[in-house]
């Protein structure tokens, strides 16, 4: 026989279930339909990507097969009176500038004309865009002048094992680059300041405290939101207009998403990947480059890989390798970002806010509902809007009594 207390207990559980179902139903945000313009722009972006990769492959091939690269290298060597260090640095810098010059028409269409036509660049002028491109070259020019001598010195000292020693040399250089990126490199493209918004600072500190962090460095500026740096220099970068473009709930989710990269040190995961790619690239250059040099040295204009004139051959081997591994690398990057969304939802519980944020990007045309397979394979770094919205709509294990995947990282 059911007592009054038992009936009220059942009513309570039914009510809680209905509330949970209502919350789940409320969180469902419709995934936008794929607009016709998106399909057209996707195809245009595919074409730009293909054109850019063709240029990247043709430039070193032309320099090698025509002998122009070797002639330029010899001319620079004569200018600096045979200094190996200066020859290698100047030839590397000349290659960077030449690559930027021949790629400029494609980059101008892909990164200025197209975004400008879609309203993504606001009032940015052509001169401002070009200035940004020049600033973006500075780290590459500095790296060419200061670091290019290393692999060539290793080639001369250890002709049979230089590819291994060069890989080991890449690791500390990469660590240094990741450490100084938020301090020296990011400020080249925009002005960044410590977060001054008191309420936003308090919200971030509250989320971080649940992950055992007393204070997370946050700076504001530029037009991207991400985590840069390693160890003591790691910090969250928030785009300049975040407070005006996102609701408080969306900001909570955005910060929670970035906290995953910060708390779980996702930037450190780049190191083994870079080391493996460097090892494969240098070994490929050693095997294929050495063979090609022995057979085609008259056409190339150099007979040894330790000649600085071999730089286009090294670049060609590295480019081919990168094109081959790009789909796998981007698939892993999308996995990292997908898990950051999951972490952000578990920490913030802002499912509806996250789904509406993703939908707003599609509505503004700043992201695609569903990129085509080619884009996903070769240049799309994040899950599609449709995939991210499905997760935001459907992932809420705390409402279903299921375990959380990141329960051990932060208190929920």
- Give the Å distances, CA to CA, from 266 to 43, 269, 363: 32, 5, 30
- Give the Å distances, CA to CA, from 217 to 23, 105, 397: 34, 39, 30
Give dist(CA 397, CA 400) in Å, integer: 5
- What average pLDDT does this structure show over 254-280? 94
Residue written as tokens 């790009």? 326
- Asked whether the beta carbons of 76 and 91 are under 8 A apart, the reply is yes
How confident is the model over 58-105, as pLDDT tens digits? Answer: 999 999 999 999 999 999 999 999 999 999 999 999 999 999 999 999
Give dist(CA 182, CA 259) in Å, integer: 16
- What average pLDDT does this structure show over 380-399? 95
Query: 409 pLDDT exceeds 90?
Result: no
In the structure, what pLDDT confidence band is assigned to residue 347 with cuts at 50, 70 and 90?
A: very high
Q: Is 281 exposed, middle or buried (0-12, 13-18, 19+ CB in 10 A)?
A: buried
Q: Round the average pLDDT of the chain to a whole number and report it.
A: 90
Q: What is the pLDDT of residue 10?
A: 52
How confident is the model over 3-30, as pLDDT tens digits? Answer: 544 444 454 444 444 444 444 445 589 9
Q: At a CB cut-off of 8 Å and minimum separation 6, what does 60 contact? A: 69, 312, 313, 315, 316, 319
Query: 318 pLDDT exceeds 80?
Result: yes
How confident is the model over 125-157, as pLDDT tens digits? Answer: 999 999 989 988 999 999 999 999 999 999 999
Query: 364 pLDDT exceeds 90?
Result: no
Q: What is the pLDDT of residue 363?
A: 81
The secondary structure of 192-232 as a DSSP string is -EE---HHHHHHHHHHHHTTT-S---EEE-SS--EEE-SGG
Query: Looking at the chain, how many residues does it have?
Result: 412
- Give the Å distances, CA to CA, from 398 to 346, 352, 387: 8, 15, 20
Return the closest-CA partner of residue 410 out of 204, 269, 263. Answer: 263
Q: Is 369 exposed, middle or buried (0-12, 13-18, 19+ CB in 10 A)?
A: buried
The secondary structure of 57-92 as a DSSP string is HHHHHHHHHHSHHHHHHHHHHHHTTT-HHHHHHHHH
- What average pLDDT does this structure show over 266-271? 92
Q: Is 151 exposed, middle or buried (0-12, 13-18, 19+ CB in 10 A)?
A: buried
Query: 184 pLDDT exceeds 90?
Result: no
The model's pTM is 0.88
Residue % of the chain over a pLDDT of 90: 73
Q: What is the pLDDT of residue 21?
A: 46
Give dist(CA 383, CA 337) in Å, integer: 7
- What average pLDDT does this structure show over 376-404? 94
Q: Is 408 exposed, middle or buried (0-12, 13-18, 19+ CB in 10 A)?
A: exposed
Q: What is the pLDDT of residue 27?
A: 54
How confident is the model over 153-176, as pLDDT tens digits? Answer: 999 999 999 999 999 999 999 999
Name the strand (E) or helix (H) holding 236.
Answer: strand 235-238
């Amino acid at each position: 026989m059911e007592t009054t207390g038992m009936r009220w207990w059942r009513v309570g559980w039914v009510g809680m279930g209905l509330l949970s179902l209502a919350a789940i139903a409320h969180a469902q945000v419709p995934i936008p339909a794929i607009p016709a313009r998106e399909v057209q722009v996707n195809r245009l972006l595919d074409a730009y990507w293909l054109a850019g990769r063709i240029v990247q492959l043709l430039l070193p091939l032309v320099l090698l097969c025509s002998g122009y690269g070797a002639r330029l290298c010899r001319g620079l060597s004569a200018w600096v009176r045979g200094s190996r260090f200066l020859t290698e640095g100047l030839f590397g810098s000349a290659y960077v500038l030449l690559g930027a010059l021949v790629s400029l028409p494609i980059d101008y269409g892909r990164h200025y004309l197209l975004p400008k036509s879609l309203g993504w660049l606001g009032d940015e002028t052509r001169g401002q865009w070009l200035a940004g491109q020049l600033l973006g070259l500075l780290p590459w020019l500095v790296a060419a002048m200061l670091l290019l001598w290393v692999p060539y010195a290793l080639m001369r000292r250890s002709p049979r094992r230089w590819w291994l020693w060069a890989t080991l040399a890449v690791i500390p250089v990469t660590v240094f680059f990741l450490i100084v990126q938020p301090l020296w490199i990011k400020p080249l493209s925009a002005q960044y300041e410590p977060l001054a918004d008191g309420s936003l600072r308090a919200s971030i500190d509250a989320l971080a405290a649940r992950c055992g962090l007393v204070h997370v460095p946050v700076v504001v500026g530029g037009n991207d939101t991400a985590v840069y740096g390693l160890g003591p220099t790691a910090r969250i970068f928030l785009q300049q207009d975040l407070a005006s473009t996102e609701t408080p709930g969306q900001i909570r989710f955005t910060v929670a998403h970035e906290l995953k990269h910060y708390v779980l040190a996702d930037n450190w995961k780049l190191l083994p990947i870079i080391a493996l790619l460097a090892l494969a690239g240098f070994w490929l250059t050693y095997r294929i480059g050495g063979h090609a040099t022995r057979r085609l040295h008259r056409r190339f204009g150099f007979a040894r890989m330790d000649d600085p004139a071999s730089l286009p051959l090294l670049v060609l081997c590295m480019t081919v390798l990168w094109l081959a591994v790009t789909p796998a690398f981007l698939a892993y990057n999308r996995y990292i970002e997908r898990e950051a969304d999951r972490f952000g939802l578990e920490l913030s519980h802002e499912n509806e806010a996250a789904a509406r944020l993703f939908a707003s990007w599609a509505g503004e045309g700043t992201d695609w509902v569903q990129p085509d397979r080619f884009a996903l394979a070769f240049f799309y770094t994040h899950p599609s809007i449709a995939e991210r919205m499905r997760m935001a709509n459907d992932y809420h294990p705390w409402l279903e009594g299921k375990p959380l995947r990141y329960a051990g990282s932060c208190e929920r």
